[in-house]
Structure 1
Amino acid sequence: MIRKRTRDARAGRKVRRGIKLGKPVTKRGNPTNLGDAQKLGTQATVRVADTFAANVSPIVEAIRHSGVTSLAGIAKALNARGIRTARGGAWYATTVRNLVARLPA
Protein backbone atom coordinates (compact mmCIF):
# COMPACT_ATOMS: atom_id res chain seq x y z
CA MET A 1 0.00 0.00 0.00
CA ILE A 2 2.79 2.42 0.89
CA ARG A 3 4.57 1.69 -2.37
CA LYS A 4 1.43 2.33 -4.41
CA ARG A 5 0.69 5.63 -2.60
CA THR A 6 4.29 6.78 -3.10
CA ARG A 7 4.23 5.89 -6.79
CA ASP A 8 0.91 7.70 -7.28
CA ALA A 9 2.15 10.77 -5.40
CA ARG A 10 5.33 10.93 -7.49
CA ALA A 11 3.35 10.58 -10.72
CA GLY A 12 0.99 13.34 -9.61
CA ARG A 13 3.91 15.61 -8.75
CA LYS A 14 5.44 14.99 -12.15
CA VAL A 15 2.22 15.95 -13.91
CA ARG A 16 1.58 19.04 -11.76
CA ARG A 17 5.10 20.46 -11.94
CA GLY A 18 6.12 19.15 -15.33
CA ILE A 19 9.47 17.93 -14.06
CA LYS A 20 11.41 14.76 -14.58
CA LEU A 21 11.81 12.91 -11.32
CA GLY A 22 15.11 11.36 -10.42
CA LYS A 23 17.29 13.97 -12.15
CA PRO A 24 19.00 16.89 -10.44
CA VAL A 25 17.05 20.13 -10.73
CA THR A 26 18.42 23.66 -10.50
CA LYS A 27 16.72 26.40 -8.50
CA ARG A 28 14.77 27.49 -11.58
CA GLY A 29 13.43 24.01 -12.13
CA ASN A 30 15.52 23.26 -15.23
CA PRO A 31 17.23 19.91 -15.39
CA THR A 32 20.97 20.35 -15.26
CA ASN A 33 22.66 19.75 -18.58
CA LEU A 34 26.28 19.83 -17.58
CA GLY A 35 27.36 17.36 -20.25
CA ASP A 36 25.79 19.41 -23.03
CA ALA A 37 27.17 22.65 -21.60
CA GLN A 38 30.64 21.14 -21.41
CA LYS A 39 30.49 20.03 -25.05
CA LEU A 40 29.37 23.50 -26.17
CA GLY A 41 32.11 25.13 -24.10
CA THR A 42 34.74 22.84 -25.57
CA GLN A 43 33.53 23.57 -29.10
CA ALA A 44 33.70 27.32 -28.44
CA THR A 45 37.21 27.04 -27.01
CA VAL A 46 38.41 25.03 -30.01
CA ARG A 47 36.82 27.56 -32.39
CA VAL A 48 38.58 30.48 -30.68
CA ALA A 49 41.92 28.64 -30.63
CA ASP A 50 41.63 27.74 -34.32
CA THR A 51 40.84 31.35 -35.21
CA PHE A 52 43.83 32.60 -33.21
CA ALA A 53 46.11 30.03 -34.84
CA ALA A 54 44.90 31.08 -38.29
CA ASN A 55 45.62 34.74 -37.47
CA VAL A 56 49.14 34.07 -36.17
CA SER A 57 50.12 31.50 -38.81
CA PRO A 58 51.26 34.08 -41.43
CA ILE A 59 53.64 35.56 -38.87
CA VAL A 60 55.01 32.11 -37.98
CA GLU A 61 55.48 31.34 -41.68
CA ALA A 62 57.35 34.64 -42.16
CA ILE A 63 59.61 33.75 -39.25
CA ARG A 64 60.25 30.30 -40.74
CA HIS A 65 61.08 31.82 -44.14
CA SER A 66 63.61 34.08 -42.47
CA GLY A 67 65.55 30.97 -41.47
CA VAL A 68 64.34 30.33 -37.92
CA THR A 69 63.05 26.77 -37.75
CA SER A 70 63.29 25.68 -34.11
CA LEU A 71 60.28 26.06 -31.85
CA ALA A 72 62.34 28.00 -29.30
CA GLY A 73 63.60 30.31 -32.03
CA ILE A 74 60.07 30.98 -33.29
CA ALA A 75 58.95 31.67 -29.72
CA LYS A 76 61.82 34.13 -29.25
CA ALA A 77 60.96 35.89 -32.52
CA LEU A 78 57.25 36.15 -31.60
CA ASN A 79 58.15 37.59 -28.20
CA ALA A 80 60.59 40.05 -29.83
CA ARG A 81 57.84 41.25 -32.16
CA GLY A 82 55.55 41.84 -29.18
CA ILE A 83 53.01 39.25 -30.23
CA ARG A 84 51.28 37.67 -27.26
CA THR A 85 49.63 34.29 -26.92
CA ALA A 86 45.85 33.96 -27.02
CA ARG A 87 45.74 34.49 -23.26
CA GLY A 88 48.16 37.40 -23.35
CA GLY A 89 51.25 35.55 -22.19
CA ALA A 90 54.73 35.04 -23.55
CA TRP A 91 55.59 32.41 -26.14
CA TYR A 92 57.56 29.27 -25.28
CA ALA A 93 58.60 26.31 -27.41
CA THR A 94 55.62 24.37 -26.07
CA THR A 95 53.08 27.07 -26.95
CA VAL A 96 54.57 27.34 -30.44
CA ARG A 97 54.35 23.54 -30.79
CA ASN A 98 50.67 23.64 -29.83
CA LEU A 99 50.03 26.43 -32.31
CA VAL A 100 51.83 24.65 -35.14
CA ALA A 101 49.85 21.47 -34.40
CA ARG A 102 46.63 23.43 -35.10
CA LEU A 103 47.83 24.69 -38.45
CA PRO A 104 46.96 22.78 -41.61
CA ALA A 105 49.84 20.75 -42.96
Structure 2
Amino acid sequence: MSNAATSGSPVYGRRVARRCGRVLSAVANVARAHGITVLGTCQDAVMPDAASYCGEILYFCYPSKADALNLSTRMFGFDDNGERVELSADHLLIGRRIH
Protein backbone atom coordinates (compact mmCIF):
# COMPACT_ATOMS: atom_id res chain seq x y z
CA MET A 1 0.00 0.00 0.00
CA SER A 2 1.40 3.42 -0.90
CA ASN A 3 1.94 6.30 1.53
CA ALA A 4 -0.63 8.35 -0.36
CA ALA A 5 -3.26 5.69 0.24
CA THR A 6 -2.52 5.29 3.94
CA SER A 7 -1.84 8.92 4.84
CA GLY A 8 -5.47 9.92 4.33
CA SER A 9 -6.93 7.19 6.52
CA PRO A 10 -8.27 8.01 10.01
CA VAL A 11 -6.18 5.22 11.56
CA TYR A 12 -2.98 6.63 10.04
CA GLY A 13 -3.92 10.12 11.28
CA ARG A 14 -4.49 8.91 14.86
CA ARG A 15 -1.22 6.98 14.83
CA VAL A 16 0.72 10.06 13.69
CA ALA A 17 -1.05 12.23 16.28
CA ARG A 18 -0.10 9.81 19.10
CA ARG A 19 3.51 9.72 17.94
CA CYS A 20 3.67 13.52 17.73
CA GLY A 21 2.07 13.78 21.17
CA ARG A 22 4.76 11.56 22.70
CA VAL A 23 7.51 13.65 21.11
CA LEU A 24 5.94 16.96 22.17
CA SER A 25 5.39 15.67 25.70
CA ALA A 26 9.04 14.58 25.99
CA VAL A 27 10.30 17.94 24.70
CA ALA A 28 8.02 19.83 27.13
CA ASN A 29 9.16 17.69 30.08
CA VAL A 30 12.85 18.23 29.30
CA ALA A 31 12.31 21.98 28.88
CA ARG A 32 10.53 22.23 32.25
CA ALA A 33 13.09 20.05 34.02
CA HIS A 34 16.02 22.13 32.77
CA GLY A 35 14.34 25.56 32.81
CA ILE A 36 14.94 26.18 29.12
CA THR A 37 12.85 27.59 26.30
CA VAL A 38 12.40 25.45 23.21
CA LEU A 39 11.41 27.14 19.97
CA GLY A 40 9.71 25.03 17.35
CA THR A 41 7.64 25.40 14.26
CA CYS A 42 4.56 23.55 13.13
CA GLN A 43 1.96 23.65 10.42
CA ASP A 44 -1.43 25.20 11.08
CA ALA A 45 -3.08 21.78 11.08
CA VAL A 46 -1.16 20.61 14.17
CA MET A 47 -1.33 23.90 16.08
CA PRO A 48 -4.23 22.78 18.33
CA ASP A 49 -2.36 19.60 19.29
CA ALA A 50 0.94 21.42 19.84
CA ALA A 51 -0.72 24.11 21.99
CA SER A 52 -1.49 21.62 24.74
CA TYR A 53 2.24 20.97 25.25
CA CYS A 54 3.54 24.52 25.37
CA GLY A 55 3.24 27.66 27.44
CA GLU A 56 3.11 30.10 24.57
CA ILE A 57 2.54 30.33 20.84
CA LEU A 58 3.87 33.07 18.62
CA TYR A 59 1.86 32.88 15.43
CA PHE A 60 3.55 34.26 12.30
CA CYS A 61 1.42 34.50 9.19
CA TYR A 62 2.95 34.87 5.74
CA PRO A 63 -0.14 35.55 3.62
CA SER A 64 1.33 35.16 0.14
CA LYS A 65 4.42 35.56 -2.00
CA ALA A 66 2.96 38.85 -3.25
CA ASP A 67 3.15 40.36 0.26
CA ALA A 68 6.59 41.54 1.32
CA LEU A 69 5.87 41.32 5.06
CA ASN A 70 4.17 38.93 7.43
CA LEU A 71 0.93 39.94 9.08
CA SER A 72 1.17 41.12 12.69
CA THR A 73 2.48 38.48 15.06
CA ARG A 74 -0.19 37.00 17.31
CA MET A 75 0.74 35.77 20.77
CA PHE A 76 -1.12 33.15 22.79
CA GLY A 77 -0.11 32.27 26.37
CA PHE A 78 -1.10 29.05 28.10
CA ASP A 79 0.78 29.14 31.39
CA ASP A 80 0.20 30.71 34.81
CA ASN A 81 1.73 34.09 33.84
CA GLY A 82 -1.52 35.98 33.33
CA GLU A 83 0.35 39.27 33.06
CA ARG A 84 2.12 38.11 29.90
CA VAL A 85 -0.08 40.20 27.61
CA GLU A 86 0.57 43.39 29.56
CA LEU A 87 4.28 42.63 29.89
CA SER A 88 4.77 42.06 26.16
CA ALA A 89 2.14 44.34 24.58
CA ASP A 90 4.43 47.35 24.06
CA HIS A 91 7.04 45.24 22.31
CA LEU A 92 4.49 43.61 20.04
CA LEU A 93 2.69 46.85 19.17
CA ILE A 94 5.64 49.15 18.44
CA GLY A 95 5.32 50.41 14.89
CA ARG A 96 2.14 48.45 14.15
CA ARG A 97 -1.33 49.71 13.40
CA ILE A 98 -4.08 48.16 15.46
CA HIS A 99 -6.79 46.77 13.19
Q: TM-score, normalised by structure 2?
A: 0.33
Structure with the higher fraction of residues in strand conformation: 2
Instruction: Give the number of the structure with larger relative contact order, counting CA–CA contacts within 8 Å between residues 6 or more apart.
Output: 1
Q: TM-score, normalised by structure 1?
A: 0.32
Structure with the higher fraction of residues in helix conformation: 1
Q: Rg bigger for which structure?
A: 1
